[in-house]
Amino acid sequence: MVAQTKFTKELFSKFFEEPSRDILREVLRQHVGETRNIDFKTAWPDHPGLAKQCLGMANSEGGCLIIGMREDDDKSLTAIGLEAFVDKADIHNGLKSYIPNELRTRIEILDFDYRATEYAEIAGKKFQVALIDHGVEHAPFVSLRAGTGIRASAIYVRREASTEEANYDELQGIINRRIGSGNSTSGEQNLKKELELLRTLYGEIPARVSSLSGFLTMGSSIGFDRPNPKYPEGGIDAFILDLIVLKQGRIASMLGVGKEYAATYRAKETLKRFLPSASITRATPAQVVPSSADVAPPEPARARPARPIPRSDDKKDA
């Protein structure tokens, strides 16, 4: 089984890199069956179904759809071919409203006509193949609208031979692959630049000022400093933390658990306020009820200002 799986992956990789008639003939002859990266269809799915398949493969390191193959009850494949090639422009136009343009431009549709071949089962038959590049620098790809069998703003992945909505671990895997690739979009590059500029601006304002600045007032001590009242509350780290929390809420809403995420966040912040050393765990599955509400998380609670320490020489008049 392991050897067969390795052979299938190698054959798919070879076909993806060089989609030729000879390699496709070998894929069909070997009856590799449906896998995480290869799916066989008798005919082209409707546009919502095709969009879901493309999204799942793009978020799962790429794949291909081979049209003109029938899967029988015993999971074997029979080459039936297509009566005629479907117009490629019609396919791309049908996907426009369901998938992002960054993904649609990465889908290549190829025609294969085996008028003469030594493999009798496919002789005289036509097949079409959709190659879906994963485009790691743009992942995760999200559906643009709802349709038959597809939900709006959903992230799909391939699990073996099926296409399903991504769970938390699968979404983390997509994000980690993007980070690990070293690819950054222009938006990410601009973000890094803006954050560096922001750090420079923060550095121009001292977080603390000396009590010697200006005139000395009663009660001030020489050599002591105090917080600068003009310094932005929390500093740059608190600002970035706020953005992370908001982004987490956005992703939770995309997965349909925005309301539950907000409730869990409030509970965690309350525990941390009263039990700073407590071990806080994620909500259990039983506590999470899927929801499509796009609910933003609450604004992170900021630390309360420290109460002034009473001076030891403060005594009541006798």
Span of 162-166, 249-253, 268-272 with lowest mean pLDDT: 268-272
Confidence class of residue 88 from pLDDT cuts 50, 70 and 90? very high
Q: Say yes or no: 127 and 63 in one domain.
A: yes
Average pLDDT for 148-175 = 92
pLDDT greater at residue 13 or residue 43: 43
Q: Which domain holds residue 150?
A: 2-181
Confidence class of residue 156 from pLDDT cuts 50, 70 and 90? very high
**Is residue 258 domain-resident?**
yes
Q: Say yes or no: 43 and 103 in one domain.
A: yes
Instruction: Flag whether the pTM goes above 0.85.
Output: no
Q: Say yes or no: 159 and 101 in one domain.
A: yes
The chain-wide mean pLDDT, for the chain, equals 77
Q: Say yes or no: 111 and 38 in one domain.
A: yes
b or e along 275-300 (b: 16 or more beta carbons within 10 Å of the residue's beta carbon)?
eeeeeeeeeeeeebeebeeebebeee
pLDDT (0 to 100) of residue 89: 95
**Is residue 250 domain-resident?**
yes
Q: Say yes or no: 199 and 128 in one domain.
A: no
Q: Say yes or no: 241 and 205 in one domain.
A: no
Q: Say yes or no: 227 and 239 in one domain.
A: no
pLDDT (0 to 100) of residue 196: 82
Q: What is the 3-state secondary structure (H, E, C) of the chain?
A: CHHHHHHHHHHHHHHHHCCCHHHHHHHHHHCCCCCCCEEEECCCCCHHHHHHHHHHHHCCCCEEEEECEEECCCCCEEECCCCCCCCHHHHHHHHCCCCCHHHHCCEEEEEEEECCCCCHHHCCEEEEEEEECCCCCCCCCCCCCCECCECCCCCEEEECCEEEECCHHHHHHHHHHHHHHCCCCHHHHHHHHHHHHHHHHHHCCCCEEECCCCCCCCCCCCCCEEECCCCCCCHHHHHHHHHHHHHHHHHHHHCCCHHHHHHHHHHHHHHHHHCCCCCCCCCCHHHCCCCCCCCCCCCCCCCCCCCCCCCCCCCCCC
**Is residue 317 domain-resident?**
no
Q: Say yes or no: 158 and 289 in one domain.
A: no
pLDDT tens-digit map of 89-141? 999 999 999 999 999 999 999 999 988 777 888 888 999 999 998 878 888 99
CATH code for position 96: 3.30.950.30
> What domain count does the chain have?
3
pLDDT tens-digit map of 205-245? 888 887 654 444 444 445 567 888 888 887 888 888 888 87
pLDDT (0 to 100) of residue 134: 81
Of 135, 158, 155, which Cα lies nearest the Cα of 37? 158
Domain boundary among 197, 213, 232: 232
pLDDT surpasses 60 at 282? no
Domain boundary among 157, 181, 205: 181
pLDDT surpasses 60 at 317? no
Q: Say yes or no: 250 and 218 in one domain.
A: no
**Is residue 58 domain-resident?**
yes
Q: Say yes or no: 84 and 130 in one domain.
A: yes
Task: Give the β-pairing of 208-210 and 107-114.
Answer: unpaired
**Is residue 80 domain-resident?**
yes
Q: Say yes or no: 75 and 152 in one domain.
A: yes
pLDDT (0 to 100) of residue 31: 64
Confidence class of residue 23 from pLDDT cuts 50, 70 and 90? confident
pLDDT surpasses 70 at 187? no
**Is residue 74 domain-resident?**
yes
Q: Say yes or no: 37 and 172 in one domain.
A: yes
